[in-house]
Structures are given as structure tokens and as C-alpha cells.
Amino acid sequence: MGRLTRRTVIAALAIATGCYSTGEGPDPVPHAIYFPVGLAVSPGGGALYVANSDFDLQFNSGTVEAYDLARLRKILEPLWSTGDATVRACAAAGLGVNATPVLQPGVCGPLDLRSPPDAASNPEPIVKASARIGAFATDLLYVCHPSEDPTRRGSCSQSGTADPRGSRLFVPVRGDASLTFFEVDDDRPVTPPEPGVVRPSGAQTFRLDCGQAANNGRCADGHRAGVDAHDNTRGLTLPAEPFAIAVSERTDSILVTHQGSGSVSLFTGLGGASVLDAKPALQYVLGGLPGFTTGVAPLPIPGSVARLGLAATNYQPGFVITYRGIPGIPQVEILRVFDDSFAAPSRPFLSRAAAFPLQSTPSGTDSRGIAIDSQPRAACEADCEGRSDENTCVAACSQVALPAYIANRSPASLLVGEVRSPDPNGASDDITIYETVPLAQGPSRVVVGNIRDRRGVARKRVFVLAFDARIIFVYDPVEHRVDGQIRTGRGPYSLVMDPIEPIAYVGHFTDSYIGLVDLDESHGDTFESLVATIGVPNPPQESK
């Protein structure tokens, strides 16, 4: 992570021991990125959310902020829309020339969030909302209400419409061992109005509500799940070191891993409801796992199960988790969620369903981020719509293999495999890893997204962030090869795709800024490179 101060080393040791002091020091600097660990965008493309971790404990809290993404996109358009990231384009965007291109790649100087180049014509701040959270946040997840149509996959489908209840952000926080959540806007388009029915506009108001207005800017206890043992029937509190987070396809459960222990935590909505309808309840902590848990991803529910319903098919939703520090044969594992609906009261729990060895990396000891691509099965199911044998066709789609990708740190590689569901109505997924793609040091996260090719067609790519090597590797899942490398600044930690344009945003942990990546292949000079810096980089103290 570069050269850090003694204070940062102390903070790192505090993380390792589970000992924190988050109430001392000054308030965080407003409208500033500080050790960002999570990025998320609203599905309509109006807001960019950033989780700042306060990693070196310089302030008394971390923050979550909401940025006006449409405005950022417009200011930086001369850089990403033309492929002309030159000094001339910098001037057109109102930016200076980059004086430190080795540390922060790109031609232009940074966009100062507190003094943007369009401030004279638009005095409104780019940072539209902010709230204080505990120190050491680790991730950020945006979750929409799922469609009532069981044929639509994913809670934030671009083909879906805005839900009047809005959406939520979820942030695992180490400093207070909580799952902190925020009420935010769902800015997708709305359906056509119906007579007598008032529908929301789907507008982006930059709502970011965790009860901070009545709590001195800090998220209130009502938005911090897992901290009060009285919130559940088992008397549980969230264990130390919450790390990665994933939500089930129907948004009725959340799984949190713990990188300092062999355990995972299950949150559910009350009475089987969505985790978006009320404060999520910590229902179960599964311990005794064979290694420190790191990555997590939900298993897509077979289409026939989605149509018939989980209760009718007795289907148990599942998650896949990865490990580090596991002795013996490295593996990934499937955990199943049981709703315990026949008990009074019901007490949901987790069960270890199956473990699958990472055959292609017999010496691997440190697996991190994992992603499962549900699109091939969704496309198969979409082709079944309207057929006379639609139900039979949809059931057969469960046989379609879903690509799976794991970022592996030891050895440094991308693991490529697949998930299959032999029983269209059963919880019987199999995972096979069949390929290892060598990478540079420090792979940590994997994101499935798209580039735009020279003909303007979206092409799927897998993006693997290598924190130590300062590279984002771009893997072509059709050609089975790495076809690009994006040189980043120090400590690329998180990546999110823009839902509207062929660009992406990279959170740089070490120097505290966000990089904008051009993903339009027709831009020969700037394709798969950082073309803009959002926020003034802030190096660790000792390296200034």
C-alpha cells in the first residue's frame, strides 16, 4: 500500500486485533475522498456513492457520500467521449495538466470536488449528501427492490422500473462491527402512468438517509444492524472483521464474511420479507469454517424455481464463499439459507451444503473476490417466453453453465470456472474450476462488465483489480485470454461500471481519489486507460 506513517501502522494493527478507537480526533473533511473502499452507482446513473474508511484514524469517523454523477460525467466528457485525452482536452474540461503522471495516470490534473471547473455557472456542490459512519468500512452494496415479475433477474435490472420505496446502500463497518445501511433513491425510469395511480418520477434527489440528521451527522443506531443483541432471538452481535457482502437474488437475505475468522453472518428481513423493508436482523453466525472467509457471491435461482416460488419447490437460496489461510486443499464452498418458516418464531439459519476444490490451483491459499455471471441463463429463459412449452424450456435453462470468476492472490491468478444446476427445481449447484490465468501481484476483486467495441456493440469483459501491481487486468471470456491491462495509480481497491456510458470508476485506496476509465474501443489512444482523476489525490502522510 505504499509507505505509510506510524499512525497508519498502528491503525493496521488495531484492525488485526479487533481493537478500535473511532470517537477521537476531528470531524472528517467534508467533500473529500479519504481511503475509499467502496463505490456504487444508482441504476439510472444519477448518483455515485463512495465509502471512505478513515483507514489511518486521522478523523473520528469514516463517511459515505453521494456525488452528482451526471454533472461529473458532463464536466469530464471532453476526456472520455472523444478519445482525445490531451492537453487541449484538459483545457476544454477546465482542468490543468497532470504534474504527477507516474503516481496518478492521465494527462489532466485532478477535478477538485470542492472547486469544480464549472463552479461559476453552477455553484451547487458536486457532493450532494454525506453521513458519518464508523472507521474501517470494507465494502459498499447498492440494492433495489426486486421486480414482482419472477422472469426478471437481479434486483437492479436495467430493464426494471423505479420502485416507489426507493433503494438501500449497505456498508460493512469494522470499527463498530456493524452492517450500516442508508435509504437512497431508485432513479430508474418509471412505468407509464395508470388512471388514478400516482407514480414516482424516478428522479435522483441524492437522498442518503441513515438517521444522521438527528444524530449530529452520524448514522443512528436504527441504521446499524448487528450491534444490539436484543434485535434477534439468538442474542447475537456481529463478529469482528466484517469484510465482503452479498445479497440474495430476491433480497431476502444478506451474507457478510469475516476475514479475521472462519465465520460468516446471515442477515434477513423480518418474517421472510426483503432486507429493504425494515431493519435487517442478524439471524445466524456460522463458525468453525476451515479458513478466513473473504469473497461472497449469491447463487442465481433457477428460473423454474423463481416462477413456482421457493416454498413450492422447497428451494434453499445459496451463497458461494472463498477463503484465505485454508490448510490442505483450497476450496470454495456453498452455504444454504433455511428460513425455518415452520418454527414459532422462525429462526433462519445457514448450513454448509457442499465444498468444491480449486483443482487448477492445488497450492492456492488466498482467494478473494468472486463473481458469478447469471446472464447466459437469463438469456436462455428470455428466449423461452411465449413458447407453447415455456415451462419445460425454462427448466432446461438450468442446465446452462454460469461463468464464475475468482481473484486469487496466492498464487496471483484469475480462476475461471462454471456453476451448473442439474435439478431445475432443486438446490443442487455444482462448481467446477477449469482454468488458471496468471496475473501480477495482488489480485483482490473481480467485476463482470462491458466494453464498447469499434462497432458500438457491448462486449463482456471480466475486470480483475491487482492492488499491489497497480493494474486492472481485462479478461475476454469468449477468447479465454487477457486482452488488456489498465495501468492505475496506487492501490486500486474498487471498480464500478457506469450504467449509461462506456466508462468505469476506480477507487484508489492509497492516494484517496477516483479514476475514470475509458472503455470505448473506438478511442485508439485512450481505450482501457485512466483519463481523469476525480478528487485531489492525498498521499499517505510520510510519502508527501
The DSSP annotation for 104-156 comes to S-SSBPPB-TTS-TTTTT--S-SEEEEEEE-S-B---EEEEPPPS-TTS-STT
For the whole model, what pTM was predicted? 0.93
**Closest alpha carbon to 35 in 176, 175, 225:** 175
DSSP H helix total and E strand total for the chain = 8, 28
DSSP structural state of residue 180: E
8 A C-beta contact, residue 407 and residue 446: yes
**Closest alpha carbon to 44 in 460, 501, 506:** 501
* SS percent in the chain: helix, strand, coil, step 5: 15, 35, 50
So what's the pLDDT on residue 310? 78
Long-range Cβ pairs for the range 221-224 (8 Å, 24+): 222/279, 223/180, 223/181, 223/182, 223/279, 224/173, 224/176, 224/178, 224/179, 224/180
pLDDT, tens digit (0-9, with 9 covering 90-100), for 223-255: 999 999 999 989 999 999 999 999 999 899 999
* Rounded Cα distance, 154 and 151, in Å: 10
* Rounded Cα distance, 6 and 11, in Å: 9
* Rounded Cα distance, 26 and 393, in Å: 60
So what's the pLDDT on residue 181? 98
DSSP structural state of residue 218: B
pLDDT, tens digit (0-9, with 9 covering 90-100), for 292-341: 999 999 999 988 888 888 777 888 999 999 999 877 778 999 999 998 87
So what's the pLDDT on residue 140? 98
- Bridge-partner residues for 471, per DSSP? 466, 487
Cis ω for the linkage preceding 345 (within 30 of 0): yes
Single-letter amino acid code for the residue at 151? T
Count the Cβ atoms, other than its own, within 10 Å of residue 233: 12
Burial of 468: CB neighbours in 10 Å, binned 0-12, 13-18, 19+: middle
* Kind of pairing between the strands at 127-133 and 331-338: unpaired
* Rounded Cα distance, 441 and 393, in Å: 44
Cell 449509461, residue located? 500
So what's the pLDDT on residue 251? 92
So what's the pLDDT on residue 9? 42
* Rounded Cα distance, 541 and 544, in Å: 6
So what's the pLDDT on residue 542? 57
Q: Which three cell numbers stand for residue 186?
A: 431508485
**Closest alpha carbon to 395 in 429, 426, 430:** 426
Cell 452528482, residue located? 68
Please provide the size of the chain in residues.
544
Residue 333 belongs to what H/E stretch? strand 331-338
**Closest alpha carbon to 370 in 424, 440, 445, 457:** 445
Q: Which three cell numbers stand for residue 57?
A: 484514524
Q: From first to last of its 544 residues, what are the pLDDT tens digits of the chain?
A: 444 443 444 444 444 444 454 567 899 998 899 999 999 999 999 999 999 999 999 999 999 999 999 999 999 999 999 988 889 999 999 999 999 998 999 999 999 999 999 999 999 999 999 999 999 999 999 999 887 776 666 668 766 788 888 999 999 999 999 999 999 999 988 865 455 554 445 689 999 999 999 999 999 999 999 999 999 989 999 999 999 999 999 899 999 999 989 999 999 988 778 999 999 999 999 999 999 999 999 999 988 888 888 777 888 999 999 999 877 778 999 999 998 877 778 899 999 999 999 876 656 678 999 999 999 998 999 899 889 999 999 999 988 999 999 999 988 999 999 999 888 888 889 999 999 999 999 999 999 999 999 999 999 999 999 999 999 999 999 999 999 999 999 999 999 999 999 999 999 999 999 999 999 999 999 999 999 999 999 988 754 4
* Rounded Cα distance, 156 and 172, in Å: 20
DSSP structural state of residue 499: S
* Rounded Cα distance, 45 and 91, in Å: 26
- Chain centroid to Cα 32, Å, comes to 21
So what's the pLDDT on residue 84? 86
Cell 428466449, residue located? 383
Q: Which three cell numbers stand for residue 523?
A: 478511442
* Kind of pairing between the strands at 178-184 and 492-497: unpaired
Phi, psi of 74 (to 5 degrees): -70, -45
Cis ω for the linkage preceding 200 (within 30 of 0): no
Q: Which three cell numbers stand for residue 429?
A: 449447484
